[in-house]
Amino acid sequence: MRVVLVTGGASGIGWACARRFAAGGDVVVIADIDAAAATSRAASLGPQHAAIAADVADPATAAAVIGFVLARHGRIDVLVNNAGIIDSGGTQITDQPLEALRRLLGVNLIGMERLASAARAAMLGQTPVTAGAPRGVIVNMASGAALRAIPLRNGYSASKAGVLAMTRVQGVAWAADGIWVNALAPGYIRTDLVDELIRRGRVDPSLTESRIPLGRMGRPEEMAEAVFFLASPAARGMVGSLLIADGAGSAYGASDAAPVQRGAAPRAAPEGTPVMVVSGADTAMGAACLRGLAAAGATVIAAATPADIAAAAQRHGRLDGLVNAAGSDGLDADDADLPQQIAQHLEAQFLAAQVAGRIMLAQGFGAVLNLTGAAALAAGVAPVAGSAAAGAVAMFARSMACEWGGSGVRVNALAVGAGIDPGGAAAFLLSPAAGYVSGSIIAMDGGRSVLSSKEPQAWP
């Protein structure tokens, strides 16, 4: 049983997180500025859960809230650092009062930093809840607005970009203490926050959805699943990383409407055991994914050739997921040249994805995960050939996500560092729980790609 603190847990994404952790057997404390809502939400979860009134922008809040959690439970295992506000005025920078900017930064960035620091101090003094578990986990709620600017939401974007940069630092600085820090960047999620923007005419829902390859806004429950994953052992190896859950919205770079249906209409996968295929199961990462998917209860098939993928789908009558691991070993090899890496990694994954993609488009559901190396994101962890091929494979996943999203097919890339087991992450990313994660390149590399160092070769 873990003790989980959710700030801003009385509504929207935070409330969905509170429900998800409670359903998973954890004990939840909700801290929210809306005391009445927080109290009734916590009560509805059951008597072991609690609420505390808190304005995270108040400098005294972090100590008071963490003190409350420790007094009640003696420990804090997970902080969902979620409380946030939008810029209410809709004004451009030239017209925005400094006070409004201060409030935004005070809640969204400074408040989050104080909560994270206070949580870390408490986590440092405790032993992990079970052997092998982290000492503590912090998930900072960022936003797609941290990555792409939205006019009249300038302070909000700045606050969330600050959260991202903060997460990278906390991630690499605190990992050695067994504290995992990562960020989630939701795209447009239908909560009170977005409904308010719609009411004020600042978000046009149909125009917004026309720019999202999956063709819809996300649900708070989908963000809660992503947060729950980041707090699970399956996220081991993610350090200061960003998980984008935006229906491939931020991956999309064309000028026309995004959700082009190139196959069947999207539909939920049918009941029954999901069928997952691993291409490149002879690689270390592919083999780890075979194990991870089997542990998650799927029917798992190792495909030596693209034809094996079609045969598996034919035999089982469905194809829920493809792990595309071909060429994921050997990216660090000095003797490989670029054409060889492209053939073994990009072209092999292209051929497997072609077969799986045709099947999934005809079904109207399915997910693909391209496995590649940390070299996709950072210099100094592989020679040129491995890096270039890894980068190409990662971006290839984003293109597939944008092409196939209109038929409900999701595609992501996982950039995995040496010695890290991607099996649990693959199981999550290919499952319906990751339903709004698409077009993402996810670093699972022990922090290598987020740590800027003068001595990149110092990494083992």
Q: Which stretch binds ligand NAD (CB under 6 A): 29-37, 303-311, 345-353, 386-394?
A: 29-37
The verdict on 8 binding ligand NAD (CB under 6 A) reads: yes
Nearer to ligand NAD, 88 or 305 (CB): 88
CB of 180 to ligand NAD, least distance (A): 19
Cα separation values, 288 from 257, 276, 440, Å:
38, 13, 21
Nearer to ligand NAD, 185 or 375 (CB): 185
Task: Provide the angle, in degrees to the nearest 10, between the axes of the packed helices 98-105 and 154-174.
Answer: 30
Q: Which residue lies nearer to ligand NAD by CB, 86 or 382? A: 86
| Touching ligand NAD, residues 72-111 (CB under 6 A) | 82-85, 107
Q: What is the DSSP string of 397-411?
A: HHHHHHHHGGGT-EE
Residue whose CB is less far from ligand NAD, 143 or 154: 143
* Contact pick of 5, 12, 382, 439 for ligand NAD (by CB under 6 A): 12
Q: How far is the CB of 217 from ligand NAD (least distance, A)?
A: 7
User: C-beta of 281: minimal distance to ligand NAD in Å?
Assistant: 36
CB of 414: closest distance to ligand NAD in angstroms?
A: 22
Which range binds ligand NAD by CB under 6 A, 30-38, 69-77, 113-121, 452-460? 30-38
**CB half-sphere exposure, 400, CA atoms < 13 A:** 33
Q: Which two tokens stand for residue 116?
A: 């994270």
Spatial distance between the Cα atoms of 114 and 124, rounded to a whole number of angstroms: 16
Q: Least distance to ligand NAD from the beta carbon of 12, Å?
A: 2
Residue 53's Cβ-count burial label (10 Å; 0-12, 13-18, 19+) is middle
**Which position among 4, 5, 13, 258 is part of the footprint of ligand NAD (CB under 6 A)?**
13
Query: At closest approach, how far in Å is the CB of 230 from ligand NAD?
Result: 14
Annotated active-site residue 156? The verdict is yes
**Which of the 8 DSSP states describes residue 271?**
S
Cα separations (Å) of 221 from 218, 251, 267?
9, 22, 18
- Quick one: 86 or 278, whose CB is closer to ligand NAD? 86
Per the CB < 8 A criterion, the answer to whether 184 and 141 are in contact is yes
Catalytic residue among 156, 188, 252, 436: 156
Nearest by Cα to 266 from 364, 410, 357: 364
Q: Which residues from 169-198 bind ligand NAD, rule CB under 6 A?
A: 186, 188-189, 191-194
Least distance (Å) between residue 156 CB and ligand NAD:
7
Cβ atoms of 367 and 427 closer than 8 Å: no
- Dihedral of alpha carbons 433, 435, 441, 447, sign: negative
Q: Of residues 33, 258, 390, 442, which one binds ligand NAD by CB under 6 A?
A: 33
Which of these ranges, 8-16, 115-123, 207-215, 394-402, lies near ligand NAD under the rule CB under 6 A?
Answer: 8-16
In the complex with ligand NAD, which residue's Cβ is closer, 142 or 381? 142
Backbone angles phi, psi at 79, to 5 degrees: -110, 120
Instruction: Classify strands 242-245 and 179-186 as parallel, antiparallel or unpaired.
Output: parallel
DSSP 296: T
**Could you give phi then psi for residue 88, rounded to 5 degrees?**
-75, -30
Query: 133-152: which residues touch ligand NAD (CB under 6 A)?
Result: 141, 143
Output 153 or 345, the one with its CB closest to ligand NAD: 153
Say whether residue 14 binds ligand NAD (CB under 6 A).
yes
Judged by CB, which is closer to ligand NAD: 7, or 170?
7
3-state secondary structure of 108: helix
- Interaction of residue 34 with ligand NAD, rule CB under 6 A: yes
Which member of 52, 54, 300, 426 binds ligand NAD (CB under 6 A)? 54
Selected from 55, 113, 221, 347, the binder of ligand NAD by CB under 6 A is 55
Structural contact between residues 185 and 143, judged by C-beta atoms closer than 8 angstroms: yes
Of residues 50, 57, 243, 385, which one binds ligand NAD by CB under 6 A?
57
We find the least distance from the C-beta atom of residue 197 to ligand NAD, in angstroms, to be 8
HSE value, Cβ hemisphere, 13 Å, CA-based, for 190: 10
CB atoms within 10 A of CB 147: 18
Q: DSSP for 361-407, please give it.
A: HHHT--EEEEEEEGGGT-TTSS-HHHHHHHHHHHHHHHHHHHHHGGG
Is residue 32 part of the contact set for ligand NAD (CB under 6 A)?
yes
Closest separation between CB of residue 440 and ligand NAD, Å?
Answer: 14
Catalytic residues: 156
Residues that bind ligand NAD (CB under 6 A): 7-8, 10-14, 32-34, 54-57, 82-85, 107, 141, 143, 186, 188-189, 191-194
